[in-house]
Structure 1
Amino acid sequence: MLTQPDSLLKYIEDASGLRLPDGHFIDGGFRAPRAGRSMQSEDPGRGEAFADFARGDADDVADAVASSRQAFNTVWLRTPPAERGRILARTADLIRRNTERLAIAECLDSGKPIAEARGDVSGAARTFEYYAGACDKLEGHVFPLPSEYVGYSQFEPVGVTAHIIPWNFPISTAARGMAPALAAGCTVVAKPAEQTPFTGLLLAELLVEAGLPAGVCNVVTGTGIEVGAPLVAHTGIDHVTFTGSVATGTSVMHACAENVTRSVMELGGKSPVVVLNDCDFDSAIANVAGAIFEHAGQICSAGSRLVIEAGIHDRFVEALGKKASSISLGHGLRSPGMGPVNSALQRDKVLGFLDRARERGAEFVCGGHASTDPETGKGYFVEPTIVADRQADDELVQEEIFGPVLTVQKADDAEHALHLANCTRFGLVAGVFTGNFSRAHQLARDVDAGQVYINEYFAGGVEVPFGGNKQSGFGREKGLEGLKSYCKVKSIAARIG
């Protein structure tokens, strides 16, 4: 395992050491794009390109969909569930054996610290492991009909599934969609974000190494316009799983509606972390900081709003500001406290929110400016930022910033905190920190969110269903609910006497 900075940083100078993929992954192997075009992937920690990858188009999408349709009809649909499970289990093992290669590729592509990237790879392995065990446990039901009838249901795979993978958690989100789809008996066509193409391609390669038949998982890289749009609009797609912005998700839903294509939409959030007077103070500080500054706040479920009860407001915000100010910045391969945001575009978007907040007279507890890697003077960095008390209608409260920016909302009491927690159009997750068990579960009951963490932000794992309410989307991923997203139910009733 590479641990020394000099050893790690040689990969910045020589990305070929990673054996990065060349081409799309179609029909069991890498293939050059039909138009022969390529794009460059940037290392956000330096703000410089480090590798080329295939720039696909609708013709490449058509090839991938045809390959997946053929594989579904002739091979994967007929593969016994137990054998599907064995292939997914071998994939989990191969992911673990390739942890360092995958993590370094993820770090260079996305900018996140190497420790976070390793955690994502570990989570991807666990996801395949979990769904490997579920393949042969998709059981239907028997209906209580009169004695002269028998009625039962069975789960069937929906068919060819499309997966639009975001740039913030490329391997995690790919695994979160691919693994249950494959477990259910579906085939996959995945489109990684153009900013982070490589781990999706590497994952497809490992699946085939584990024994997945050719064509069952295809990956096409390129832009959203040239690859993503024709993929979700393709008449050969039976289901779309999309993770991304509300605006793009709305466009995807329109495309799905044209063909009456099923979909799961995870569209981001503006998640509140409710901290009450009787919380474990030190634990809450650590969790609130982790909820917003992990991966520089570029997490759909980031705790981007601190809803803090008045009794501890001043002391808590002061301590949190000191903790945020102590976070080190740097290139992900140097194991900093926080890495860069993903691109110059994302950095400028975040800074735009902060500049407008200054114009409105906002008070900054800490941060609020662009920065760079202190060792190189390069990269797309934003300081860990906390903005003091803002009203419910403020832009920083209402809009998803997708950066290391925490907005504080002061609550009079627990009831007021609930009102503030529910004050946005999003409803992905929420956190609650309190020593009162009853109050914690009352808030969990009443907050409008798809998932609630109590006394530990990001608690749980692949076993826990994940998804949002309101404009955070619909449908659920992870857990057995995620498996059902890739199934259709057939009911059968027969007269027997």
Structure 2
Amino acid sequence: MDSFDPGRGRAFARFAAGDGADVDAAVAAARTALRGPWRQMGPAERGRILAKAAAMLRERAARFAVVESLDSGKRLSEAEGDLRGVARAFEYYAGAADKLHGEGLPLGRLYVGFTSQEPVGVVAQIIPWNYPLSTAARGIAPALAAGCTVVAKPAEQTPFTALMLAELLHEAGLPAGVLNVVTGTGAEAGAPLVAHPDIDHITFTGSVATGSAVMRSAADNVTRLVLELGGKSPLVVLADCDMNAALNGVVEAIYENAGQICSAGSRLVLDRSIADVFLGRLVAWVEKFRIGHGLTNPDLGPVNSRRQLDIIDAHVRRAVKAGNHVLTGGAIATSDAGGWFYQPTIISAQSAADPLVQEEIFGPVLVVQIVDGPDEALTAANATSYALVAGIYSQNITEALRFARDVDAGQVFINEWFAGGIEVPFGGNRKSGFGREKGMAGLRSYCKMKSVVARI
């Protein structure tokens, strides 16, 4: 299959189009490895392999970042930041591998009771195209730390860094069969993987529609799931905010990776008393953006595919037809590099019920909702079917913490969007999915608990 450079809109490399037979072979290899030397390896030794991989990733970060930028379209500086996060993820779970333990149970003098945490088994990882290496790492690293074996299916748009990561991990000492990567389409490789009876757990990141299909497929084998499905995340800016910090936060929240982030701050919920000044400054900033190929480190890079570009454009066209007001942008952009670009866009929504507010666009499109005060802001924040991330800018910490308490979201940012790191559990509620990745919660996602009781 061809892999395309989104910045030029042209194929730049080819990769294997895997199918059900390849999935069968990969799952069989993972099942065999689960019973082999990997099972006998102590947690500290697993940690040493992950630590070595972290060091190797830092040494080879430049190469990985260039490939990630070429394959996904993201700016090189963003890809370099992703690599730092990926290395840190392996470092974190290297340290956690020998800290995973059960608990003693207080059953009285006649009994000894305890729990243990065991690897869940063979794990399937379905990796999206927007953060190919980061998402792969946040699933693969804890799964390996827990003692699982893995079959990973990267998106057909962005296969290469997952293949490079598998090569690096085996070079770091991972036994054969412990990590397997099958490239190909969702229909030909992904569907057989999530339906495979020898898969013990699935971690899926992607759309609600595909996640629902994965759930139905997993149900036939009663396979465990972690689903991270997307969002329409509110970024609340109250009247007492630090305006410079809030402006920086809004720009980063929606325009990083051309808005192709499940946790993007795609809804600006803005207090009416500062709306004119805030939006004036925001529009002036965005209209100066330089658009270009990811390797040139522009202000805004391309979207991942022609298909995604058309989806974004269709969303905006419908919004304009419905009477929503475009403050800036609102059209497909051109670049000297060619490729698939969309103008950085800001649209003021007329109604909270509009699809513009309710549906995930997954592009560089910021939707503005004007509110009067904190209570209306909270109501607006909770008024979609998604509940992945929320954020607030306010210098009143009590007001901010009340918002964090009352908003429905898996993660809340206060005065900095994308705050935190691998240590912070991540995942959503409602249509944003369920289960958690990252942090120690992410490690426990790849474990099954066993209780043991002995009469003495």
Corresponding residue for residue 105 of structure 2: 143
- Indicate which of 198, 201, 213 corresponds to 1:236: 198
8 Å contact from structure 1 (residues 390, 408) kept in 2: no
SS in 2 for 1:213: coil
Alignment partner of 1:485 is 2:450: no
Corresponding residue for residue 287 of structure 1: 249
- Indicate which of 257, 265, 275 corresponds to 1:303: 265
C-alpha distance in 1, partners of 2:103/2:305?
49
SS in 1 for 2:115: strand
Alignment partner of 1:81 is 2:43: yes
Out of 363-372 and 42-51, give the one that drifted further: 363-372
**Corresponding pairs, count:** 456
The one-letter code of the counterpart of 1:93 is A
SS in 2 for 1:222: coil
8 Å contact from structure 1 (residues 390, 397) kept in 2: no
Map 1:62-81; keep pairs closer than 5 Å: 62-81=24-43
The one-letter code of the counterpart of 2:167 is E
C-alpha distance in 1, partners of 2:296/2:78?
12
SS in 2 for 1:133: helix
Corresponding residue for residue 445 of structure 1: 405
Following superposition, the deviation at residue 324 of structure 1 comes to: 1.2
Deviation by residue 1:248-292 (Cα, 9 ceiling, x = unmatched): 000000111000000100000000000000000011001001100
8 Å contact from structure 2 (residues 272, 371) kept in 1: yes
Corresponding residue for residue 275 of structure 1: 237
C-alpha distance in 1, partners of 2:46/2:24?
25
- Indicate which of 115, 126, 134 corresponds to 2:77: 115
The one-letter code of the counterpart of 1:243 is T
SS in 2 for 1:368: coil
8 Å contact from structure 1 (residues 340, 379) kept in 2: yes
C-alpha distance in 2, partners of 1:355/1:53?
35
Following superposition, the deviation at residue 372 of structure 1 comes to: 2.2
SS in 2 for 1:134: helix
Map 1:115-134; keep pairs closer than 5 Å: 115-134=77-96
Where has structure 1 moved over 6 Å in runs of 4 or more?
A: none
C-alpha distance in 2, partners of 1:390/1:70?
57
- Indicate which of 297, 313, 329 corresponds to 1:335: 297
> TM-score under structure 1 normalisation?
0.91
Map 1:346-365; keep pairs closer than 5 Å: 346-365=308-327
Identity of matched residues, %: 61
C-alpha distance in 1, partners of 2:365/2:279?
14
The one-letter code of the counterpart of 2:389 is V
SS in 2 for 1:84: helix
Corresponding residue for residue 385 of structure 1: 345
C-alpha distance in 2, partners of 1:258/1:372?
47
Corresponding residue for residue 417 of structure 1: 377
Following superposition, the deviation at residue 390 of structure 1 comes to: 2.9
C-alpha distance in 2, partners of 1:72/1:332?
40
Corresponding residue for residue 29 of structure 1: none
C-alpha distance in 2, partners of 1:150/1:271?
48
Alignment partner of 1:162 is 2:128: no
Alignment partner of 1:205 is 2:167: yes
Deviation by residue 1:403-445 (Cα, 9 ceiling, x = unmatched): 0000000111100000000000000000110000100000000
C-alpha distance in 2, partners of 1:129/1:111?
27
Alpha carbon RMSD of aligned pairs, Å? 0.6
Corresponding residue for residue 59 of structure 2: 97
C-alpha distance in 2, partners of 1:82/1:361?
60
C-alpha distance in 2, partners of 1:300/1:79?
36
C-alpha distance in 1, partners of 2:352/2:157?
33
The one-letter code of the counterpart of 2:192 is P
The one-letter code of the counterpart of 2:208 is V
Q: Which structure 2 residue ranges, 5 or more long, are not aligned? A: none
Following superposition, the deviation at residue 78 of structure 1 comes to: 1.5
